[in-house]
Each structure stands twice: as C-alpha cells, then as structure tokens.
C-alpha cells in the first residue's frame, strides 16, 4: 500500500517532532509525494495522494486554513502537515473538526524543523517504497497466474506478507478502466487508494486484467468486509457523480497458493454486483449463484440461459410482454398461480392465461421437476447479464 501516513509518523515523530492532531482514521493513506505550498493554486494540479506541507505564511486566517483543507480533500490529498510556531501559533478547532469529519490526516512539526531536510528525507522513503511496491505487484500477479511456481514470487512476497496465513481478494471494476491510458488510470488509482481505510502493510493495491485488485492478508472476514463496505461508502462520497464501481469480495483462504482461487471468486462476485446493480457483492454470501458465476464457458451459459428461453425472449421483445418474468415467478412460487399473481401484481386469470401461452411456446407442459429446474437456471443465467469483463495486465 506504499509509504503511508503511519509510516511517515513513525519515521518522523522522534526525528522531526511530528504529531498527528486530527484525521486519525486516514492513518492508512498512502503518500505519492511531499509538496510545500503557501497557496491553493498548486492544489488544483494534484493528481492524488500528495502530502501538503505549509508554514501557514499564505494562510494567515482560520478561514483560509479551512479552505485549504477543503481543497485538499477535493483533490484527494493524503493529508496536511502544519509547520507551527511562527505563522501558525495554534491549530484552529474548526480545522481539527473538519479533518476528523473527512478523515484528512492533520499533522504538525515544530518551527525549528528544517522543512527542506524533512521533505527530502521523506521523499526518498516514498520513492524507495514505490519501487518495492512495483516488485510486490509483479510477484502477486505471478502468484495469481502461476501459483505452483512459488520460487518465482516467494522471495519478493516473504518480507511483505505472512505467506502461510489467510489471503482474501477484493476486485474493483468499472467499465472504462481498460480504455484509460496508463496515466489517467494511475491518477484514478491514487484517488481510490485513499478510500481504503485501515489497510496498510497487511494489504496491497494494483491494477490487473481490467480491474483494480486489493490483496488482504491475515485479516478476519469481518475486518475485510468492513474495509470493503467502508471503501464503497468513501467512493460514493469522494467520487460523487462518476461512473459506478462494482466490487467483489473473494473467499478467505489459507496460503499464498490459494490467492488465485480467491481472486477468481472475487472476479465472479464483481460480475455479480454489476449484474444485480449493487456496489458490492461477496462470493461466499451468494448461495447457489456461486456455481453459475464461476462458469467460464460463455457458450455453455448462452445455451443454458438465453438459448433455453429464446421463444419467450422473442415473444417479449416483439409484443412488449412479460412471459419470462411470469415464468420466473410461477416457478419460484412452486407452481402457485395465486402467489405468482401477487408477485406480478396481476389477476390470477392473467397468470393462468400467460402460463398456457408459455407452455405452448416452450412446447413443454412443465410437469417435469428437472425441466422446471432447467428453466429456473436459465432465468438465473439471463439475470447475470453480460457481467464478464476483459482487460490488459498492468501494474
């Protein structure tokens, strides 16, 4: 997850007297660069994950400091460091309240700290961590693609993860990710990483095969679910108005060689979220649908889904009908005309008439339990939509 606010604080507390005064829930924010500023103009050029540092010279009032914090949040900065003692005698309470409310880390260093040395020191640490992260991403991709070839990835992952521990994958997908250029996608990844809370060196974030991937190591299922749900909430708040993301959570499985399976299940869950129009879905909570979403044969799905229902689909398209929905509710109701009618908000005679037409179109009396199950499976496949996605590998 890169060089984080927590890492910066650990490296700087004794050396530079750095303290965190607000925004503690953003402690896991990763940092892409340190930026000294005394006005908000440069903030509009931020691409995400920058750590702003100011002496307060350009922000002499409480209102201007608050406006800076708001601008930093708007442009997905990692946090704000105040050089206190000369121009900033104390940290205003409204600024503290804002940073706490928006999970924007607010830190202080005393005036006697030479900022140039601190920024240089921390920038080198950020650069070195970035190089390590790149190696980690490549090693995780190898683990996903060739889990049995452990010698090729074990050495790079051993310092980062507990390889015999539990791994769980979250996949984050959006339709346009594969069409973005590398720079645009990188900037988006910076903004998304700031939406992940409580995940630092027990996790990793990278782009692979058309989606962003989050690896979580040695977290409980509840912790992973909380991180995923918090991510969805933060995305809705911070990336308001953008195209929707669909998140899938894979199974929690033991050992690095299980990473591939958890990843595949996360991909299936992301397909599920997209098909059902919800922001997040968990593979392990999907019941029988897990079988259908795990099938990787599109021809088979086509034959057993739309192919099986073709006469009804054609009728509905040509006559603006509801025969597929009627069959679905009738089968789910175990053949109860009254219950199906209530679900469809129509008279029971309408259901009786429609089912007569449906049996004729399908050339099936629907008395066979096996046939009824096949039609329920076909409808479930149909509801899956075209949730499959493809993309190109990149870290």
- CATH number of the CATH domain containing 285: 3.30.70.270
Higher pLDDT, 198 or 353: 353
pTM (2 decimals)?
Answer: 0.76
Indicate if the pLDDT at residue 393 is higher than 80.
no
Host domain of residue 248 = 161-293
Half-sphere exposure of 194 (CA within 13 A, CB side): 29
* Residue 23: C-alpha distances to residues 6, 105, 327 (Å): 12, 4, 53
Over the chain, what is the mean pLDDT? 92
Q: Taking residues 195-221, what's their average pLDDT?
A: 91
Q: What is the pLDDT of residues 277-306, one digit of tens each?
A: 999 999 999 988 888 888 888 888 888 889
Predicted confidence at residue 303, as pLDDT, reads: 87
What's the rounded Cα separation, in Å, for the pair 240 and 180? 19
Does 172 lie in the same domain as 119? no
Does 322 lie in the same domain as 368? yes
46 closest CA partner among 91, 79, 21: 79
Q: Which of 123, 145, 179 is the last residue of a domain?
A: 123
Indicate if the pLDDT at residue 394 is higher than 80.
no
Q: Taking residues 375-392, what's their average pLDDT?
A: 68
Indicate if the pLDDT at residue 387 is higher than 70.
no
Q: Is residue 112 part of a domain?
A: yes
Predicted confidence at residue 38, as pLDDT, reads: 95
Q: Which residue reads 């601008």 in tokens?
A: 71
- CATH number of the CATH domain containing 11: 3.40.1390.20
Does 305 lie in the same domain as 287? no
Indicate if the pLDDT at residue 385 is higher than 90.
no
Cross-strand partners of 247: 172, 280
Residue 55 phi, psi dihedral angles, 5° rounding:
-85, -15
Confidence of residue 388 (pLDDT cuts 50, 70, 90): very low
CB 27 within 8 A of CB 105: yes
Q: Is residue 138 part of a domain?
A: no
- CATH number of the CATH domain containing 308: 1.10.10.2840
SS3 312: helix
Q: What is the pLDDT of residues 169-183, one digit of tens each?
A: 999 999 899 889 998
Does 289 lie in the same domain as 177? yes
Higher pLDDT, 301 or 15: 15
Listed in sequence order, the residues at least 6 apart from 59 whose beta carbon sits closer than 8 Å to its beta carbon are 38, 65, 68, 87, 88
Does 317 lie in the same domain as 288? no
Q: Which of 293, 326, 344 is the last residue of a domain?
A: 293
Q: Is residue 245 part of a domain?
A: yes
Q: Which of 293, 309, 331 is the last residue of a domain?
A: 293
Q: Which two tokens stand for residue 119?
A: 């920024």
Q: Taking residues 10-14, what's their average pLDDT?
A: 95
Domain count, the chain: 3
Q: Is residue 327 part of a domain?
A: yes
Does 305 lie in the same domain as 279? no
Q: How many C-beta atoms surround the C-beta of residue 275 within 10 A?
A: 19
Does 208 lie in the same domain as 93? no
Q: What is the pLDDT of residues 316-360, one digit of tens each?
A: 999 999 999 999 999 999 999 999 999 999 999 999 999 999 999
What's the rounded Cα separation, in Å, for the pair 26 and 89? 24
Predicted confidence at residue 151, as pLDDT, reads: 93
Does 343 lie in the same domain as 285? no
For the four alpha carbons of 161, 220, 24 and 242, in that order, the dihedral sign comes to positive
Q: What is the pLDDT of residues 103-152, one digit of tens each?
A: 999 999 999 999 999 999 999 999 999 889 999 999 999 999 999 999 99
Does 289 lie in the same domain as 307? no
Does 370 lie in the same domain as 283? no
Q: What is the pLDDT of residues 26-72, one digit of tens each?
A: 998 999 999 999 999 999 999 899 999 999 999 999 999 999 999 99
Q: Is residue 250 part of a domain?
A: yes
Q: Which residue reads 């050992």 in tokens?
A: 255
Confidence of residue 391 (pLDDT cuts 50, 70, 90): very low
Q: Is residue 137 part of a domain?
A: no
Predicted confidence at residue 297, as pLDDT, reads: 82
Q: How many C-beta atoms surround the C-beta of residue 187 within 10 A?
A: 17
Listed in sequence order, the residues at least 6 apart from 53 whose beta carbon sits closer than 8 Å to its beta carbon are 34, 35, 36, 37, 80, 81, 83, 115, 118, 119
- Return the percentage of the chain with pLDDT > 70, whole number: 97
Q: Is residue 156 part of a domain?
A: no
Listed in sequence order, the residues at least 6 apart from 258 whose beta carbon sits closer than 8 Å to its beta carbon are 147, 167
Q: How many C-beta atoms surround the C-beta of residue 338 within 10 A?
A: 10
Does 103 lie in the same domain as 14? yes
| Dihedral (Cα; 321, 327, 330, 333), 10-degree rounding | -120
Which letter, b or e, does each residue of 107-121 get, where b requires 16 or more Cβ atoms within 10 Å of its Cβ?
Answer: bbbeeebebeebbee
Q: How many C-beta atoms surround the C-beta of residue 143 within 10 A?
A: 27
Q: Is residue 136 part of a domain?
A: no
Indicate if the pLDDT at residue 82 is higher than 90.
yes
In sequence order, which ranges of the chain are alpha helices (DSSP H)? 5-16, 62-74, 93-101, 115-145, 154-157, 182-193, 221-238, 259-276, 289-293, 298-304, 310-319, 323-332, 337-344, 348-362, 369-384
Does 43 lie in the same domain as 27? yes
């Amino acid at each position: 997850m890169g060089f984080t606010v927590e890492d910066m604080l650990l490296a700087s507390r004794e050396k530079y007297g750095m303290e965190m005064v607000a925004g503690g829930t953003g402690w896991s924010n990763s940092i892409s660069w340190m930026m000294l500023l005394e006005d908000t103009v440069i903030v509009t050029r931020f691409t995400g994950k920058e750590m702003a540092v100011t002496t307060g010279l350009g922000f002499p009032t409480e209102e201007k400091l608050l406006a800076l914090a708001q601008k930093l949040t708007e442009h997905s900065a990692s946090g704000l460091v105040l050089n206190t003692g000369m121009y900033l005698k104390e940290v205003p309470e409204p600024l503290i309240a804002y940073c706490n409310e928006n999970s924007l880390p607010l830190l202080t260093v005393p005036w006697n700290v030479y900022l140039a040395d601190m920024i240089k020191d921390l920038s080198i640490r950020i650069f070195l961590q970035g190089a390590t992260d790149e190696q980690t991403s490549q090693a995780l991709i190898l683990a996903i693609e060739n889990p049995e070839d452990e010698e090729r990835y074990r050495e790079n992952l051993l310092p980062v993860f507990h390889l015999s521990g539990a791994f769980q994958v979250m996949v984050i997908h959006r339709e346009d990710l594969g069409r973005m250029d590398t720079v645009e996608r990188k900037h988006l990844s910076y903004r998304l990483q700031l939406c992940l809370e409580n995940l630092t060196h027990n996790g990793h974030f990278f782009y692979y095969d058309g989606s962003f991937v989050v690896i979580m190591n040695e977290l409980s299922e509840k912790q992973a679910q909380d991180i995923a749900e918090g991510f969805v909430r933060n995305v809705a708040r911070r990336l308001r108005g953008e195209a929707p993301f669909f998140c899938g959570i894979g199974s929690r499985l033991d050992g690095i060689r299980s990473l591939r399976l958890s990843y595949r299940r996360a991909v299936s869950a992301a397909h599920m979220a997209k098909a059902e129009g919800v922001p997040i879905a968990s593979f392990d909570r999907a019941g029988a649908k897990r079988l259908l979403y795990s099938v990787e044969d599109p021809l088979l799905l086509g034959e057993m889904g739309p192919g099986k229902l073709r006469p009804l689909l054609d009728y509905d398209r040509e006559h603006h009908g509801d025969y597929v929905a009627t069959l679905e509710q009738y089968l789910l109701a175990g053949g109860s005309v009254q219950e199906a009618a209530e679900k469809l908000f129509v008279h029971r005679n309408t259901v009786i008439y429609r089912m007569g037409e449906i049996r004729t179109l399908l050339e099936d009396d629907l008395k066979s339990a096996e046939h009824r199950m096949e039609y329920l499976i076909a409808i479930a496949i149909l509801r899956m939509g075209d949730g499959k996605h493809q993309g190109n590998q990149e870290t």
